[in-house]
Structure 1
Amino acid sequence: MQTEVVLVRHAISVPRTADGPDELTRPLALDGLRQALALAEPLVVPRPAAVWSSPYLRAIQTVAPTAHSHGLEVQTRWELREWDDGLAFTDDWIPHYEHSWADPSFARPGGESMDQLTGRAVAALRTLAGRYAGKRVLVGSHGTFVSRALCGFGAAVDRHFWQHMPMPAIYCLRFVAGAQQPEVTGPGLGGVPLR
């Protein structure tokens, strides 16, 4: 028996700014909405049993066209959200992310470490794989969440991979009965170029 969890990094979103919108309500940009519509075709075969998403609007909007094409609702789980980095808004966030990738155990006050995110991501995705055993489920989420989930499932993913992951991007976790880890495929893995 094979179970597929298809991770979908959200499409191009409206940039984050100091005066909003906040992370929960930041939507896709117009180009991102077009990308989400174009994703529906490659994501519908085989038909998903369910579509889940981070509760962040941009992730929901990315998988919504695919869900609606099958008459499915986009269900949300808080555990599928992006990394809680503990940073107040800053335009100069790259050095902070680099530090966290270099030291995955480091957590800022009020935030979670990369290691904690990895544990959260793996647990959430294993739960969904168990719930939909023998089926296919789509999961809309975010770049750091997807990267750390892939790390947790044994993929050779680093900061460079995360920085160059396309928007949107599709990764497949194939869980086979008896195997410790799923087979992981997608851009930047197993010889498939990132772009």
Structure 2
Amino acid sequence: MRTIYLIRHCSATGQAPTAALTSTGFQQAQDLVSFFENKEVEHIISSPYLRAKQSITLTALCKQLEIQTDSRLAERILSDIDLPDWMTQLEQTFTDMDLVLPGGESSREATNRAIEVIKEVPNHSILVTHGNLMSLVLKHFDDSYGFHEWKSLSNPDVYMLTINNSSTNISRVWNEKSNTPT
């Protein structure tokens, strides 16, 4: 059995790969240190985006672990053009997993790259990613996750995946909206 913590990054200044955490985001990153203090963590893998790395840096320092980056944990690109109705388009990608918008990747493509990482990581790992990709990973293991669950994610958000040979159990173990672990 493997335990993997899947984290959505803390509050950030924007969506660009170089967007940093806000002052609130840095406080949230400190809260993650406390959250993981008594949890067994042996590996930390992050999206290469700055906000993801900043979200877990303090925890890595506390645990005396290096942060590995993996581009397969980067946010899913919905499209490379401005979509005035992007929210409607995003919702459609949760029901049509093969829908590809101009310059983007399908939900299935994004899910597959993230699942590759999950299959490779050892027990007691933290994976830091982004909201859309995180919700697609959760949907992979439980089809009831979708657009509305994506909308209800917080920054940060933490889910624990407990994986054995035949099944994966998903538990939401953080709720930033109430500022407490669940």
Partner of 1:14: 13
Q: 1:175, CA displacement in angstroms? A: 1.6
Spell out the pairing of 1:28-177 with structure 2 (5 A cutoff): 28-89=21-82, 93-128=86-121, 132=122, 135-176=123-164
Q: Which amino acid aligns with 1:32?
A: G
Q: 1:95, CA displacement in angstroms? A: 2.2
* Cα-to-partner distance string for 1:70-108 (whole Å, 9 max, x where unaligned): 111111001111112123345653122123223221002
Q: 1:187, CA displacement in angstroms? A: 6.1
Q: Which amino acid aligns with 1:186?
A: R
CA RMSD of aligned residues (A): 2.2
Range 107-116 or range 93-102, more displaced: 93-102
Q: 1:185 aligns with which of 168, 171, 181?
A: 171
Q: TM-score, normalised by structure 1?
A: 0.83
Cα 1:90–1:68, aligned 2, differ >3 Å: closer, same or farther?
farther
Partner of 1:4: 3
* Cα-to-partner distance string for 1:32-56 (whole Å, 9 max, x where unaligned): 1110111111123223111110000
Matched residue count: 178
How many angstroms apart in 2 are the aligned matches of 1:111 and 1:127? 25
SS in 2 for 1:38: helix
Q: Which amino acid aligns with 2:158?
A: I
How many angstroms apart in 2 are the aligned matches of 1:52 and 1:142? 13
Unpaired stretches in structure 1, ≥5 consecutive residues: 17-22
Q: TM-score, normalised by structure 2?
A: 0.88
How many angstroms apart in 2 are the aligned matches of 1:66 and 1:124? 20
Q: Which amino acid aligns with 1:165?
A: L
